[in-house]
Amino acid sequence: MPEQQHYQGDDGWAKIAEYLDAVSARNILLVTGNSTYRASGAEQSLEPVLREKEVTHLTCFHTNPRVEDVSQLLNQIDNKESYQAIIAVGGGSVIDTAKLLKAFWINPPSLDEYLGSEDIRELRPAALPLIAIPSTAGSGSEATRFAVVYKNKKKYSVEHDDLLPNFSVVIPPLLASVPQHVAASSGMDALCQGIESYWSIHSTDESRKLAAEAITLAWNWIEKAVNDRSSEALNHMAKASYLAGCAINITKTTAPHAVSYPMTSYFGITHGHAVGLLTARFLTFNEGVTEEDCLDARGPEWVKKRLHEINIKLGVITGDQASDTLSKKVTSLGLEASFSQLGIKTQDDIELIIENGFDPERVKNNPRAINASSMRRLISSWG
């Protein structure tokens, strides 16, 4: 896997200037969010860095990018051979969009054609350095080789080693102006990506070390980062998000992520919010792993030990207690904890989630097998 340069610090802008000089980048594609780019202070800080450069600025107007959004942005880029770098400043959706532009810079295949085949051999990402500057903590997209894209409400993950940003620059003060509900949902995403990575059947010593630190930092600092925005808390949450990203770059995510996508697509629940509520339920569900339904080759006892280690990190002993304390954490960040309040009310709603929530790749990463009927039981017991 390619190496990534990483820097975290308030003076990250100067490091970006140095990096652009090092790769002799004069003509730059800048990809940002809509209002957050200015509101976060990124525009003002990046202005002197880019003053002497040729910059084409593309704005992403949608969270959770759709195929048509990416295609439209690609059509706006003329003279593709003249660029020497891509800079992405924004949340996970913006960084993922920049990765998708890089992935489909050279056509064919088009993104649409590729999602029909998903043959990784067809992908030829542009040889352009990508600098990722997250404005949320976060998706951890700055640390992964994946990009999420939606086609007809279905979620796809485009994956390639060359989509790992060449330089990830985490600048904690950028996180200070993010709206409360975005900070809360993003923070939950980081925390739960740490938890999912820790119990993933693909976990390694290295991934669990990264995930463990991410969980501990996020668990201890998420409320202060979301509700108070102290610089110390933002620093820790930014690091947690990056580390969780590094961990899922090794293991990928598991069942809560798989089930979350239709909740976002069909019910408009923000990604991290849905993942937080689901992870709480899976802390209990996974603890019931047996010899018969264990998907981890290391066996159910091994899985239970890892789950116990997660519980300890959350300050509790059992899966039920972990579920309870995580649900309370969701509420403490101002996020609704009841699915019926979030619009998931009828049996048809539940069936829609079940029908669309079984990304086989993600579900089989979960340590305990889950089928449609256990999923139905799990969801039906929610308020």
Q: Which residues of this chain interact with Fe ion, rule CB under 5 A?
A: 189
Strand order, beta sheet including 130-134 = 5-8, 167-170, 130-134, 85-90, 27-32, 54-59
* Separation CA 371–CA 375 (nearest Å): 6
Shortest gap between Cβ of 361 and Fe ion (angstroms)?
14
Residue closer to Fe ion by CB (options 155, 208) is 155
Question: d(Cα 74, Cα 97) in Å, to the nearest integer?
Answer: 10
User: How far apart are CB 273 and Fe ion at their closest, in Å?
Assistant: 11
- Cα separation values, 18 from 13, 22, 27, 42, Å: 9, 6, 15, 17
Name the H helices within 106-254. Answer: 111-117, 180-199, 205-223, 231-251
Q: How far is the CB of 272 from Fe ion (least distance, A)?
A: 7
Q: What region, left, alpha or beta, does residue 172 occupy, with left being phi > 0 and alpha being psi -120 to 50 degrees? A: alpha
Residue 139 CB, nearest approach to Fe ion (Å): 6
Report how far Cα 138 is from the mean position of its chain's Cα atoms. 6
Closest approach of Cβ 200 to Fe ion, in Å?
13
Choice between 189 and 359, CB closer to Fe ion:
189
Q: Residue 241 Cβ, how far from Fe ion at the closest point, in Å?
A: 10
Residue number with CB closer to Fe ion (189 or 349): 189
Task: Considering the complex, state which of residue 126 and residue 333 has its C-beta at the smaller distance from Fe ion.
Answer: 333
CA dihedral 80, 249, 65, 98 (to 10 degrees): -20
Pairing of strands 27-32, 54-59: parallel
Measured CA angle at 189 (ends 198, 336), to 5 deg: 125
Based on CB atoms, which residue is closest to Fe ion, 32 or 197?
197
Q: Tell how many helices (H) and how many strands (E) occur in the chain.
A: 16, 8
| CA separation for the pair 118, 111 (Å, rounded) | 10
Q: By beta-carbon distance, which residue lies closest to Fe ion?
A: 189
Nearest approach, Cβ of residue 257 and Fe ion (Å): 6
Q: Which is nearer to Fe ion, 15 or 271 (CB)?
A: 271
CB–CB of 158/100 below 8 Å? Answer: yes
Angle between helices 180-199 and 231-251 (to 10 degrees): 40
- Nearer to Fe ion (CB atom), residue 96 or residue 189: 189
Shortest separation between residue 136's beta carbon and Fe ion, angstroms: 11
Residue nearer to Fe ion on the CB measure, 274 or 375: 274
